[in-house]
Amino acid sequence: MGYSARYHAASLVAVFLALAVGILIGAGLGDNLVSDTEQSLRDSLEGDIEQARGEADELAAELERERAFSARTYPALVGDAFEGDRIGLLALGELSPELATDIEDALEPTEGDLVEVAVVRRPPDVAALSSELANRPAAALKKDPAAELEALGIGLGRQFALGRGKLLDRIRDNLFSRSSGEAGRLDRVILTRAPFGELDDPDLENAEALESGLTEGVVRSGVASVAVERSDAAESQVAFFASFGITTVDSVDLVSGEVAMVFALLGAEGNFGVKGSATSLLPELLFPSGSGAGSG
C-alpha cells in the first residue's frame, strides 16, 4: 500500500471517528436539552396544577359560605308565608323521594301544611275508571279513551284543588297509585311530572290526555299553583306546564329554587331557575299581606 492509499484510509478513519464522536456528543447534548425541557415543562405544569387546586379550594370555600348564608336567610325570607294554609302535592307519574324531600324542606319554614300528596297512576287504568263512572261517561270513555280522559281529568283536577265533588272520591283508588293525607279544599297546589320512559301507545296517549286534563283542571280551579322539578331532572317538564300558563321552578333542590317556589305560590309568574328555559333565577320578591318581611 502506497503513501496516498494509507493517507486516504487514515483520513476515512478520522472522518468516521469524528462522525462517531460528533454523534455521541450530539446525543448527549440532545438528551440534556430534552431533559431540561421536560423538567421545565413538568415544573410549569406542577405549578399550574397547584395554582388551579388553590383556586378550586377557594371557590369551594366561597360556595360553602354562600350555601350556609342561603340556608340561614331562607327561613327568615319565607317564614310564616303560608301559615295555616292547606297545600296539596299532585304528582303526575312517579314522585321520587328526593323531590318529595326537597318540596317538604322548602315548605317547612313557611308554616304551611302539606295536607295531601297524590301520585297519579301511569298508565291510567281505563277499564277500572270506566267501571266507576256513570253509564254515559263510561261508554264514552270506552269509545274514545284519550278525549274522554282529558275531559275527565279537567273535572278531577278542579275537584282535587277545590276539595269538593264526589267523582274524585269514587275513583280515587283507581286514579292514584298512592295517596296520603286529608282531602279537602286546598289553598295552594304544587305539581310535578315524571318522564314517560318506555310507555307506548295507547297507554302513552291515554296518560298524556289524563295528565293534561288534570293540569288544566287545577288551573281552572283558580287555586294558586306552581310546577317544580330538580335541577338534575333527566327530562325537564317545564315546557309541558308552561303550555298551561303555570309558573315553573326547575331547581327546587337549590335554595334559589325553594325561594322561587314559595314566591310563585304567592303569585309570582314566569319560569324560574337555572336551566335554559328559565326567564330568571328568581321572581320579584312578594310578601303576603300582614307579613313583616320587607317592611321598613
Q: How many domains are there within the chain?
A: 2
- Answer yes or no: is 238 within a domain: yes
If asked whether residues 35 and 108 sit together in one domain, one would say no
- In the structure, what pLDDT confidence band is assigned to residue 3 with cuts at 50, 70 and 90? very low
Q: Which of 37-41, 201-205, 265-269 has the lowest mean pLDDT?
A: 37-41
If asked whether residues 37 and 58 sit together in one domain, one would say yes
Radius of gyration of the chain (CA): 34
If asked whether residues 153 and 168 sit together in one domain, one would say yes
If asked whether residues 236 and 218 sit together in one domain, one would say yes
- Answer yes or no: is 110 within a domain: yes
Residue 110 DSSP code? G
- Answer yes or no: is 216 within a domain: yes
Instruction: Give the global pTM.
Output: 0.76
- In the structure, what pLDDT confidence band is assigned to residue 292 with cuts at 50, 70 and 90? very low
If asked whether residues 258 and 118 sit together in one domain, one would say yes
Cβ burial, residue 100 (10 Å; 0-12/13-18/19+): middle
Cis-peptide, bond into residue 195, ω within 30° of zero: no
- Residue 157 is part of a domain; what is its CATH number? 3.40.50
Residue-wise pLDDT tens digits, 219-234 = 999 999 999 999 999 9
Choose the final residue of a domain: 51, 78, 105. Answer: 78
Q: How many CB atoms lie within 10 A of CB 37?
A: 10
Choose the final residue of a domain: 39, 61, 78. Answer: 78
Q: Are 194 and 95 in contact (CB under 8 A)?
A: yes
- Answer yes or no: is 204 within a domain: yes
- Answer yes or no: is 294 within a domain: no
- Answer yes or no: is 96 within a domain: yes
Summarize the confidence of residues 93-114 as an average pLDDT: 97
Q: Which of 24-28, 40-44, 87-91, 153-157 has the lowest mean pLDDT?
A: 24-28
Choose the final residue of a domain: 46, 78, 110. Answer: 78
3-state secondary structure of 84: coil
Q: Are 250 and 257 in contact (CB under 8 A)?
A: yes
If asked whether residues 63 and 101 sit together in one domain, one would say no
If asked whether residues 251 and 166 sit together in one domain, one would say yes
Asked whether the predicted pLDDT for residue 171 surpasses 60, the reply is: yes
Residue 109 DSSP code? G
If asked whether residues 45 and 133 sit together in one domain, one would say no
Indicate the average pLDDT of the chain.
Answer: 84
If asked whether residues 90 and 194 sit together in one domain, one would say yes
Cβ neighbors of 234 (< 8 A, separation 6 or more) are 195
Asked whether the predicted pLDDT for residue 30 surpasses 70, the reply is: no
If asked whether residues 44 and 174 sit together in one domain, one would say no
- Answer yes or no: is 88 within a domain: yes
Q: Are 116 and 180 in contact (CB under 8 A)?
A: yes
If asked whether residues 89 and 174 sit together in one domain, one would say yes
Q: Are 108 and 262 in contact (CB under 8 A)?
A: no
Q: Name which residue leads in pLDDT, 219 or 76.
A: 219
Rounded CA separation 206/126 (Å)? 8
What percentage of the chain has pLDDT greater than the value 90? Answer: 56
The boundaries of the domain holding residue 223 are 83-272
If asked whether residues 157 and 261 sit together in one domain, one would say yes
pLDDT at 200: 85
Asked whether the predicted pLDDT for residue 136 surpasses 80, the reply is: no
3-state helix, strand, coil in the chain (%, to 5): 55, 10, 30
- Answer yes or no: is 284 within a domain: no
